[in-house]
Structure 1
Amino acid sequence: MFNLTHPKLVTLAEAEGFGGTTDFLEAYALDGIVPAICMAPDCDHTADLEPDQRAGFCEACGRPSMKSGLVIAGVI
């Protein structure tokens, strides 16, 4: 099941300059490196990571909380 309205996915799509999450997913669906966002409530740090990343290291807050936009949306 896809989740295109998750607040962190919306924030990530906006940070990448997209008007919506659908456009974001269409742009990155087949890429080898995709935007990811920190899932910690008090951090919105973004970075380019692997499409299947679920617990990447956040350079801003130091937690293993980076998640790919494709994972957040439920594509992967």
Structure 2
Amino acid sequence: MVFFCFLVDTREMVRSSKPAAGICSRCGGGASVADMETATRFCYVPVYRRTWRAIICTFCGALLKSYYRRHLRRP
């Protein structure tokens, strides 16, 4: 008998962030612009990565606005 274990997960990580003007509509906290990276892994091996920019709340962590781009400059 052959046993297959398929383990797929997605991780979102903040690469860098800086303060932005505005407040969160949910909690009233401050906002920041963050460069995010989403990595999809299959059995703990990364198979797909996507870099994007988002405006997030610094207090509650809510995603307020996301900007998907094809090419973002990396620092």
TM-score normalised by structure 2 residue count:
0.26
Larger Rg: 2
Structure with higher RCO (Cα < 8 A, 6+ apart): 1
Q: Higher helix share goes to which structure?
A: 1
Q: Higher strand share goes to which structure?
A: 2
TM-score normalised by structure 1 residue count:
0.26
